[in-house]
Amino acid sequence: MSFPMERNNDRHTAQHRYLLFPGCLASIRFPRLVYLARRLFPELGIEVTETESFSCCPDPVRLRGADRFTSLAIAARNLAVAGETGLPVITLCPSCTLTLAEAGRELKSDHGLLRKVNDVLAGCGRELSGIPPVSHFLKVLYESPGPAGLRDMVRRPLKGIALSYHSGCHENSPPDILRFDNPFNPRKNEELLDAIGARVVDYKEKSACCGSPLSLDGRMDDSLSAVALKVEDMRRCGAEALVVGCASCFQQFEIGQVMARRKGLLDAPLPVFHFIEVLALAMGYGSEAIDVSAHKVKGAGTAARLLRGEVS
């Protein structure tokens, strides 16, 4: 079995071309993120191609929990689809990144397992012969154009709005698979925020989860207390809004803050932005950068103006 992309996995060999893996949540509930990624990434030197052949990555908690081998084989099928294009994969979702990168690593290191998976895939018309690298879009951006390059590309810097960055569970952990930033004190995405003109606000609870897995498990009060813990910490440290790189965290902070407020668990919610939205605003996009219906927390001042697509 050969792994041509493993031997030659410098993403620059594909002239910054990637295959986009948008993920279920962005595709189904927040399609504006997909729309923005398609338009925005090429302006940053990242050409994206798409395929309609991908399925759910699959979900690293429930599908993987239900049946590890089937989950691995479905992930392997997605890798095979990508491998057929010869392109590295860029994702919009940290969890998809982890599922696919972890499957790739497992299959690269265990040829017996790869044969077993390929036996399954062969009966369904696929073969995994080259395992492409898989990266979340913020890692791709950090590597090229990088913070300095991005600063030069920005057309409308965010003029010092105070933003805190929330790191999703699977953005940096496990580090030996994702190979990006320190999961306990991540800084790189803050450097990107700084590059687009924001004033980054550090806070204590940086490594805490948004609480989304608790709400998925039906533990709403526990989930809302996790939301309140982070948001109150960010606000106390001076943030006017928070930014995420994960659609699931985005959904959790939007809906969670509304519900936490109703239950009296949170006094003052913060507007939430997906990184792609603030990036689009900094690149000169107006109100089309924002899906108004997805933003339940409107905020005030500069953050409220940003939500209307106004940077100045």
Partner 1 sequence: MITIDLKENSVLPGGMRQTEVCFECSVCALHCIVQHVAGFDSKNTFVYDLFRSDDPAVHRALWACSSCHKCVEVCPQDVDPLSVIVHLREKGFNEGRAPAYVYDLVKLVLETGYAFPITKKTQKDREELGLSAPDSSAVGEIRCIASRTGFLEKLK
Residues that bind partner 1 (CB under 8 A): 24-25, 27-29, 31-32, 34-35, 52-56, 58-70, 73-74, 77, 120-121, 123-126, 169-170, 173-175, 183-184, 207-209, 211-214, 216-219, 222-223, 225-226, 291, 293
Q: Which is nearer to partner 1, 202 or 291 (by Cβ)? A: 291
CA 118 to chain CA centroid, nearest Å: 29
| CB distance 164 to 207 below 8 Å | no
Q: Which is nearer to partner 1, 8 or 55 (by Cβ)? A: 55
Six-digit token string for 200: 């980054």
Q: To the nearest whole angstrom, how small is the minimum distance from the Cβ of residue 59 to partner 1? A: 5
Q: To the nearest whole angstrom, how small is the minimum distance from the Cβ of residue 251 to partner 1? A: 10
Q: To the nearest whole angstrom, how small is the minimum distance from the Cβ of residue 211 to partner 1? A: 6
Q: Which is nearer to partner 1, 219 or 305 (by Cβ)? A: 219
| CB distance 61 to 53 below 8 Å | no
| CB distance 256 to 170 below 8 Å | no
Helices (H), the chain: 4-7, 24-28, 31-43, 62-66, 68-85, 94-109, 111-122, 137-143, 146-153, 169-172, 175-178, 188-195, 212-216, 220-236, 247-262, 275-282, 301-307
Q: To the nearest whole angstrom, how small is the minimum distance from the Cβ of residue 57 to partner 1? A: 8
CA angle, 287 then 249 then 297, to 5°: 45
Q: Which is nearer to partner 1, 31 or 286 (by Cβ)? A: 31
Q: Which is nearer to partner 1, 14 or 80 (by Cβ)? A: 80
In one-letter notation, the amino acid at residue 36 is L
Q: To the nearest whole angstrom, how small is the minimum distance from the Cβ of residue 95 to partner 1? A: 9
